[in-house]
């Protein structure tokens, strides 16, 4: 199920697995950079940051190391998922989940700047949406193309 780019014979970003796998990794870096730039100190991060990993890293001063570790993990896991599911009926769901997770991270980092409860609820809604997309993708794959998932 390869898509050709409109107006050119090159591969679309949709089929560029390395590029797609970079989105979640870069979004994590953006998230934590925005978090530590716009938060007003360690106390605020400990009180309001959702991620226990980020809170622990902040306490011990390991933020750059931990963020790079998370980014590398996100890239490798995204790449593995995309490579494994490329050409299956669930590949579009995989791409959608990665895009929504990336948006969630960037918007989560920006929530430290916006600081409006409705905005924070929207970020949580995106997390729920990523979960729902993953579940729907699994159900779709089991019903429509079980041979690809075994």
Token pair for residue 45? 């991060």
What are the pLDDT digits (tens) for 19-57? Answer: 999 999 999 999 999 999 999 999 999 999 888 999 999
Residue 36 in contact with residue 45, Cβ under 8 Å? yes
Which residues on neighbouring strands pair with residue 4, listed in sequence order? 11
User: CB-side exposure of 114: number of CA atoms within 13 Å?
Assistant: 14
The whole-model pTM stands at 0.87
What are the pLDDT digits (tens) for 90-124? Answer: 999 999 999 999 999 999 999 999 999 999 999 99
Which residues, other chains included, contact 50 with Cβ-Cβ below 8 Å and sequence gap of 6+?
108
Averaged over 2-9, what is the pLDDT? 52
Kindly list the distances between the CA atom of residue 112 and the CA atoms of 25, 44, 64, 145, in Å, as whole numbers in the listed order.
Answer: 20, 10, 18, 42
């Amino acid at each position: 199920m390869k898509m050709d780019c409109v107006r050119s014979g090159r591969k679309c970003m949709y089929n560029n697995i390395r590029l797609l796998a970079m989105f979640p990794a870069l979004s994590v870096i953006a998230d934590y950079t925005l978090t530590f730039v716009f938060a007003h100190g360690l106390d605020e991060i400990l009180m309001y940051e959702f991620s226990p990993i980020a809170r622990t890293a902040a306490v011990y001063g390991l933020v750059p190391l931990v963020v790079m570790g998370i980014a590398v993990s996100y890239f490798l896991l995204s790449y593995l998922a995309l490579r494994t599911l490329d050409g299956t009926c669930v590949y579009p769901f995989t791409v959608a989940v990665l895009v929504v997770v990336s948006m969630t991270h960037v918007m989560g980092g920006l929530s430290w700047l916006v600081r409006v409860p409705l905005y924070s609820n929207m970020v949580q809604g995106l997390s729920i949406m990523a979960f729902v997309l993953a579940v729907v993708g699994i159900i779709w794959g089991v019903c429509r193309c079980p041979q690809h998932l075994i």
